[in-house]
Amino acid sequence: MDLTTLLQRFQQGDRRALARAITWVENGTPEAGELIRSTYPSTGRAHVVGITGPPGAGKSTLVDRLASRYRELGQSVAIVAVDPTSPFSGGAILGDRIRMQRTLNDPGVFMRSLASRGHLGGISIATGDVVGLLDAFGFDVILVETVGAGQSEVEIMELAHTTTVVLIPGMGDDIQAIKAGILEIGDLFAVNKADRDGADRSVMEIEMMLDLGHMGEAGINRWDGEAQANSGAARRLDRTGHHGTADLASGNPYTSSASARHAADRHGTANPGDISWRPPVLKTTAKDGQGVDALVDRMIEHLNFLKETGRWEQFKRHDAAAKLRELITLRAARTVMDRATAAGDLDRLTASVADRTVDPYTAAEEVLSRHLGT
Amino acid sequence: MNRKLRVLVAKLGLDAHDRGAKVVARAYRDAGFEVIYTGIYQRPEAVAEAAIQEDVDVVAISSLAGAHLTLIPQLIHLLKDQGADDMLVLAGGVIPEEDISALLAEGVAGVFGPGSDLDEIIRFTREHAAAK
């Protein structure tokens, strides 16, 4: 399939063209750039929902249930599931389809498995562009399942509008241990396998962590000041450090956007930036579907919250800034490396650094001062 | 450019014996392939749809329950109908000698019976998928 044919078929809604487009983007073929240029204007519409959590928490089974619920609500659904690439062979076994038999025969659902290809953030480098293609293709909801994640696989937060952290009962002290990791990035928490002992206790522990251990008002104040700074730190505060007076005053542990707005009105702070989202904690049992409808309700509520408070638009700006920063950094680095290699400077300085006649900082300075300009 | 060969390993119909499929999946992984494994009891329609969505280079069917002469040609026709006849289709498992020529005539590229050498399967797959 050539690029023109593919784009034509893509616009017509041909799933094989979509699948091939994803392959090109994932492999970084020469056509990938043009593909992204042509489809980018149609992106920015889908609700991107991230599903993350430790291995064995039931993420795939839950995604299957979520997709089916979204279908009942009349939404078209794409699923992207990332599994780890073997560091030894470069191969991967992508087995998420096994747990998604409920929805995969539905023509309103499209599912693609991605290998992490050596990237360690919980998703692969190409995942963002793959989501872009699915968005441009017209799916209403895109569910992105990360690799089994623990403490540092937090990149899903940058990609998803709504990040759901899936945990299981009986983690006990483990919750304390990982609270600085993926527990910070949740807009929603699901304690899955809730038919097991200890589910209520896990819910309580997460609730306590959310109420006590976080940034609280300080987070809100800082966010107000720095919201426009397009930094990852500001973004983090935006997404997670934002439960404060409004929620606590409302006395509602499951602060919906409506009740948050109500509380904010009462306090005379109806400025959208002041309304906050306290991540709800829900119990689910994915194997029989318990709690899944409620979880989808919260996902939709979070989407409405983002839109009503202007955060949806802010998300687009942050996302645009992050994409630009990433590409500029990447290309600038590549250009400098290419030039320095061609001039022989890289080899010469590498040798000097290796035999300790020059330190790496001085060497890097020399390369940059020679090759960064035009 | 970072091309990886993608292979779908699938079981068709009422055939629960997936040990062989898992061994082959593992061998592909260890040879650097990206393997999509879909589990047991799959209909030809579901396997064809998975192959298309995952845009695989190879579909490897493991059959131990004797329905290979019905289900594998069905799968190949479904792939053709959707313009995916460039995918390499392989069959493995308990397939009697006398059925092999029928499968090859239907469009199966290679048949690997009991005792097949995993390295040979990988070599064959690489060679034929690259030629596509």
Adjacent-strand bridge partners of A112: A80
Tell me the CA distances in angstroms from A47 to A131, A146, A192, A216, one per residue in order.
10, 16, 22, 27
Instruction: Locate all alpha helices (DSSP H) within B59-117, ordered by sequence.
Output: 68-81, 97-106
- Is residue A119 over pLDDT 60? yes
Output the pLDDT for position A175: 64
For A307, residues 6+ apart whose C-beta sits below 8 A from its C-beta are: none
> Which DSSP symbol is given to B94?
S
Cβ–Cβ < 8 Å for B44, B65: no
| Residue A203 in contact with partner chain B when CB distance is under 8 A | no
What pLDDT sits at residue B16? 79
pLDDT digits (tens, 9 = 90+) for A125-147: 899 999 999 999 999 999 999 99
Provide the pLDDT for residue B31.
96
Average pLDDT (A318-341) is: 90
Banded model confidence at residue A173, pLDDT cuts 50, 70, 90:
low
Q: Is residue B65 within 8 angstroms of chain A, CB to CB?
A: no
Three-class SS state of A107? coil
A198 vs A300, more confident? A300
Most confidently predicted of A265-269, A368-372, B61-65: A368-372
Q: What pLDDT is stored for residue A174 in this prediction?
A: 63
Condensed to tens digits (0 to 9), the pLDDT of residues A61-72 reads 999 999 999 999
B54 vs A19: CB contact, 8 Å cut-off? Answer: yes
> In what helix (H) or strand (E) does residue A350 lie, and over which residues does it extend?
helix A345-354
Query: Chain B contacts of A112, Cβ < 8 Å?
Result: 53-54
The Cβ of residue A155 has, within 10 Å, a number of other Cβ atoms equal to 22
* Cα Rg of chain A, angstroms: 23
Going from N- to C-terminal start, the domains of chain A cover: 1-42, 44-243+279-309, 325-371
Across the beta sheet with B110-112, what order do the strands follow?
A92-94, B34-37, B6-11, B58-63, B88-93, B110-112
CA dihedral sign, ordered A115, A117, A122, A127 = negative
Cα separations in angstroms, A309 against A9, A80, A148, A275, A342: 37, 28, 32, 7, 51
Residues 6+ apart with CB under 8 A from A118: A85, A87, A90
Burial of B100 (0-12, 13-18, 19+ CB in 10 A): middle
Determine, for residues A113 and B54 on separate chains, whether the beta-carbon distance falls below 8 Å: yes
Residue B97 C-alpha, separation from nearest chain A C-alpha, in angstroms: 30
> Across A199-314, where does the E strand assignment appear?
281-283
- How does residue A218 score in pLDDT terms, banded at 50, 70 and 90? very low
Q: Tell if the CB–CB gap between B38 and A28 is shorter than 8 Å.
A: no
Query: Can you read off the two tokens belonging to residue B129?
Result: 């998928």
d(CA A54, CA A146): 10
For each of the domains in chain B, give its residue range(s) and CATH number, in order of start: 6-131 (3.40.50.280)
Yes or no, beta carbons of B26 and A93 under 8 Å apart: yes
**Cα angle, residue A372 at apex, residues A371 and A374 outer, rounded to 5°:** 90
Cα–Cα distances in Å, from B127 out to B5, B21, B112? 11, 21, 15
**A19 with B53: Cβ contact below 8 A:** yes
Question: Which is more confidently placed, A360 or A158?
Answer: A360
Provide the pLDDT for residue A4.
95
* A249: pLDDT strictly greater than 50: no
What are the strands of the beta sheet with A47-52, ordered from one edge? A109-115, A77-83, A141-145, A47-52, A162-167, A188-191, A281-283
| A93, A105, A112: residue with CB nearest B25 | A93
Q: Inter-chain contact A105–B46, Cβ cutoff 8 Å?
A: yes
Q: Report in angstroms the alpha-carbon separations of A230 from A22, A122, A236, A324.
A: 29, 22, 11, 11
How does residue A255 score in pLDDT terms, banded at 50, 70 and 90? very low
Report the gap between the CA of B102 and the closest CA in chain A (Å): 29
Q: Which residues in chain A have Cβ-Cβ distances shorter than 8 Å to B4? A: 27, 90-91, 115, 117
Q: What is the pLDDT of residue A213?
A: 56
Which comes out higher in pLDDT, residue A265 or A16?
A16
Chain B residue with minimum CA distance to A84: B34
Higher pLDDT, B42 or A67: A67
pLDDT at residue A285 tops 60: yes
Q: Does B23 touch chain A (CB under 8 A)?
A: no
**Predicted confidence band of residue A343 (pLDDT cuts 50, 70, 90):** very high
Residue A214 has pLDDT above 60, yes or no: no
pLDDT > 90? residue B27 = yes
Q: Pick B52's closest partner by Cβ from A19, A28, A88.
A: A19
Give the homologous superfamily in CATH for domain A44-243+279-309. P-loop containing nucleotide triphosphate hydrolases (3.40.50.300)
The residue ranking higher by pLDDT, B6 or A247, is B6
Helix (H) or strand (E) holding A160: none
Q: What is the pLDDT of residues B43-76, one digit of tens each?
A: 999 999 999 999 999 999 998 877 888 899 999 9
